[in-house]
Amino acid sequence: MNMSDTLTGLPPLDGTVKRGGSLADFTWFRCGGPAEWLVKPSDIEDLSQFLSQLDPAIPVLPVGVGSNLIVRDGGVRGVVVRLPKSFADIKIEDDHRVRAGGAAMGITVASKARDAGIAGLEFLRGIPGTTGGAVRMNAGAYGCEAKDILIEATLVLRDGTVEVWPLEKFDYSYRHSAVPQGAVVVDALFQGEPGDPEKIGAEMDRIAGEREASQPLRSRTGGSTFKNPPGHKAWELIDAAGCRGLTIGGAQVSEKHTNFLLNIGGATAADIEALGDEVRRRVFEHSGIELEWEIRRVGDPE
């Protein structure tokens, strides 16, 4: 039992528990409040045991690298689960399949597939998050989505039950799945096809170059802020509404790609969320189209 468990009153865990664990240290916006408890399990069994004994009234929020997340300034109540490197293994299986742990980064999965001569996973090079996050939100880029390559994934549900879900059970739609609240995606099996590593690498380089040219990758940002409405591109609607470069406090609409919000220095989560809401208001006023948030917003206001 970890010594910190005796301080928190939480169930025993072989991994680590930190009360008031910082989320701003690793989320991409680098702002927002702490987790009431930041939990890092050692393996699937450890996570399952912990959740099965955790008071059902305590909320659980899984977080990857926080690349598409606004954590509000008052922090997150309950348990935030962050999978450590022990969940980042990637294995090549028969029939051009790739099994990736929930903490494995998209770029690493794509690179392993390339090295094994497996094509079809190149788009993961353009997704700056973890496998677990990609499966949960049906992440996509460059014409492909998680649902196009997923065979099955292993989930640890909020009550500690471990289930393997086939693709169909996720009931995928645009940036949405049926993964229930508090469930943690701990691994996924992806289907590729035979390919030439050089051609796969060239496609990954093309994706990387396109991202570098069009997105503010070296800034404190949260990825695509709003979903693309049917028949429209969010960035075009935002630009047309005159929001390019708009600022509130330390938050700014990127001048490079208007569907990205930036922390240009000292922004609070409230600044970023208020800026997003102002963008939505102006777009609706200009075009009559209501933008939907793609970035997840979690926690309490300060």
* Each residue's pLDDT tens digit, 193-221: 999 999 999 999 999 998 888 787 778 99
Answer for the pair 216, 256: CB distance below 8 angstroms, yes or no: yes
Comparing 79 with 9, the larger pLDDT belongs to 79
254's CB contacts (< 8 A; 6+ apart) are 216, 219, 221, 260, 261, 262
Give me the mean pLDDT over the 132-141 stretch. 94
Backbone φ and ψ for 83, nearest 5 degrees, come out as: -75, 130
Residues 140-198 have pLDDT tens digits of: 988 899 999 999 999 999 999 999 999 999 999 988 999 999 999 999 999 999 999 99
Whether 294 is catalytic is yes
Residues 16-51 have pLDDT tens digits of: 999 999 999 999 999 999 999 999 999 999 999 999
d(CA 290, CA 64): 28
Residues 243-257 have pLDDT tens digits of: 999 999 999 999 999
| 215-298 CATH, one of 3.40.50.720, 3.40.50.460, 3.30.420.40, 3.90.78.10 | 3.90.78.10
pLDDT at 218: 76
* CATH 3.30.465.10 domain span(s) along the chain: 86-213
Per-residue confidence band for 4, with pLDDT thresholds at 50, 70 and 90 = very low
d(CA 73, CA 22): 11
Closest to 35 (Cα-Cα) out of 51, 58, 6, 13 = 58
Residues 259-271 have pLDDT tens digits of: 999 999 999 999 9
6's CB contacts (< 8 A; 6+ apart) are none
Residue 5 pLDDT exceeds 50: no
Give me the mean pLDDT over the 51-57 stretch. 97
pLDDT at 8: 55
Whether 224 is catalytic is yes
Residue 131 pLDDT exceeds 90: yes
Answer for the pair 83, 43: CB distance below 8 angstroms, yes or no: no
Q: Can you name the CATH fold of 3-85?
A: 3.30.43
Catalytic one among 114, 136, 175, 280?
175
pLDDT at 2: 43
Residue with tokens 């802020």: 225
* CATH 3.30.43.10 domain span(s) along the chain: 3-85
Give me the mean pLDDT over the 288-293 stretch. 98
Backbone φ and ψ for 101, nearest 5 degrees, come out as: -65, 155
CA angle in degrees (0–180, nearest 5) for 59-64-65: 130
pTM: 0.91
Residues 8-24 have pLDDT tens digits of: 579 999 999 999 999 99
* CATH 3.90.78.10 domain span(s) along the chain: 215-298
d(CA 195, CA 155): 30
Catalytic one among 224, 254, 273, 280?
224
d(CA 262, CA 216): 8
Residue 1 pLDDT exceeds 80: no
Per-residue confidence band for 71, with pLDDT thresholds at 50, 70 and 90 = very high
HEC per residue, 173-193: ECCECCCCCCCEEEEEEEECE
- Integer CA distances (angstroms), 254 to 184, 222, 279, in order: 32, 11, 12
CATH number 3.30.465.10 is the correct assignment for the domain at 86-213: yes
Give me the mean pLDDT over the 73-87 stretch. 97
d(CA 27, CA 24): 5
75's CB contacts (< 8 A; 6+ apart) are 23, 32, 33, 34, 35, 36, 299, 300
245's CB contacts (< 8 A; 6+ apart) are 252, 253, 255
pLDDT at 211: 85
Per-residue confidence band for 6, with pLDDT thresholds at 50, 70 and 90 = very low
